[in-house]
Amino acid sequence: MKARRSFAVWGLALVALMACADSSLQPAKLQAAPVLLTNTAHVVIYKSATSDQAELTDDFRSKVGLRLSAAANRTAVRATSSPDSESPRTLNRKAVPAAPRQLTVTAGIEAAKVSWTAPAPNGFGVESYTLVYRPGDVTLTLDPATVTADLKDLKGDTEYSFSVQASNVFGDSVPATAKATIESPPPPPPPAPEYSAPVVRAAGQAGATHVIYGVTFYHQTHNLSCEETATSMALTHQGLYVSQDQILGALGVDNTPPVVKNGVLISWGDPDKAFVGNVNGLERNLTGYQANPKALMRVINAYGGRVIEWGEPGVAGYVSPQEIYAQVMADHPVVAYATWDWAWHPRHDYRSEDGNLVAWIGPYDAHVYTVVGVSPWSVLVNDPIRGQYWVSKGSFEAAYSDFNMAIVFA
């Protein structure tokens, strides 16, 4: 029986090879269909492909044939000493990459960063990665050196699923999967109050409106770098051009992890010493917060900035809204801490590691503005995210009262 089976198998191989030599089979329309005959021999047979099947190149066929033949030869050597040696079919399956490792997704505002590490090596390597995310059913094919992807234009307040597969000529790995909920941007500010053009009078006169000129407007480039950007804008009035990234670098980072009990933030880093958390994080998920005036003053002094006064209750006095208006009328820009939505919110202060109370209004977001104008009824602010606009004094005072923190520049 063993002799007949061997004869039949070699007969099949001979017929297949004769069929491949038939001129009716076009090389451009062939695809690999490996047939494993014995543990000591291997023949790659090509069969006809329909017009809608992908064309196989000679390089691809050679690569597959040589790799599988080498696997078969290694099996043949082992087969002489062990009856349990692996077959070429098993070796072929083992040449498929393992799943990518350490898949992580960092969710942002309508964006996400997906990263992973290469699969455990198996001697055959990875030739591409395929990243798929849903909803949207978007598929990205990436080269083997790429192990991160920055995804934009995602839908906020939506849970996305992500999968990454590693592939080579032998097949695709099992996908690595992860899920994350994408953040939505904060709501826009309330519309500026409607009023007729103000009458501009000399500073100090009743009913005067004053706008400070010579303050360069900048947009923040990180999720949470509003106070650095507002400070950078104010410094331009003194002819000092210090970027938000330079200010962040001089501040340093406090990576103290937040401590939450029963849904309440108990302790975190100290914004009087450095920037708390990741500047690309979010307040609402406790991945980043801010730096307070005391920490910013250290950097402002280092760059030669001139400050008239600054306030941070419990640390360095208090600058009232009326004082801010008067200083702006005198042509002094002011960096003011307030709320994102121009409304008052109850505070839930936490303690830093050294025991100091830190102003906190979570889950609502804090924001920092550069005040550059004032009228009898409104305040003109440079908002590092939303641009320059007027906001009513009532809204400004309500939002500012949550923190009462400001820096008045000369």
Q: Which sequence spans correspond to the domains of the chain?
A: 2-94, 101-182, 210-409
pLDDT at 8 over 90: no
* pLDDT value at residue 62: 52
Q: Is the pLDDT of residue 14 over 60?
A: no
Tell me the average pLDDT of the chain: 81
**CATH code that applies to domain 210-409:** 3.90.70.10
How far is 137 from 28, CA to CA, in rounded Å? 32
Length of the chain: 410
Distance from C-alpha of 303 to C-alpha of 233, rounded to nearest angstrom: 14
Long-range contacts of 196-199 (CB under 8 A, 24+ apart): 198/375, 198/376
Give 69-119 pLDDT, tens digit per residue. Answer: 544 444 444 444 444 455 655 667 789 999 999 999 999 889 999 999 999
pLDDT at 109 (0 to 100): 85
Beta strands in 218-299 (DSSP E): 253-254, 259-261, 264-268, 275-276
Residue range 355-368: average pLDDT?
92
Question: What pLDDT is attached to residue 314?
Answer: 85
In this prediction, residues 176-203 reach a mean pLDDT of 65
Amino acid (1-letter code) at residue 40 = T
Rounded Cα distance between 65 and 72, Å, is 10
CA dist 132 and 296 (Å) reads 43
185 contacts 143 by C-beta, under 8 angstroms: no
Q: Which CATH architecture does the domain made up of 101-182 adopt?
A: Sandwich (2.60)
Q: How far apart are CA 90 and CA 77, in angstroms?
A: 15
Please give the Cα distance from 268 to 272 (Å, whole number): 12
Distances (CA, A) of 396 to 46, 292, 300, 318, 360: 76, 19, 25, 16, 18
- Which residues touch 46 (CB under 8 Å, ≥6 apart)? 20, 25, 30, 31, 32, 33, 61
Residue 174 clears pLDDT 60, i.e. is over it: yes
For residue 159, the model assigns a pLDDT of 95
Q: What confidence tier does 216 reach under pLDDT thresholds 50, 70, 90?
A: very high
Q: How, if at all, do strands 158-168 and 128-134 pair?
A: antiparallel
Backbone angles phi, psi at 194, to 5 degrees: -85, 130
Lookup result for tokens 């939002």 = 399
Q: What token pair was written down for 172?
A: 């695709």
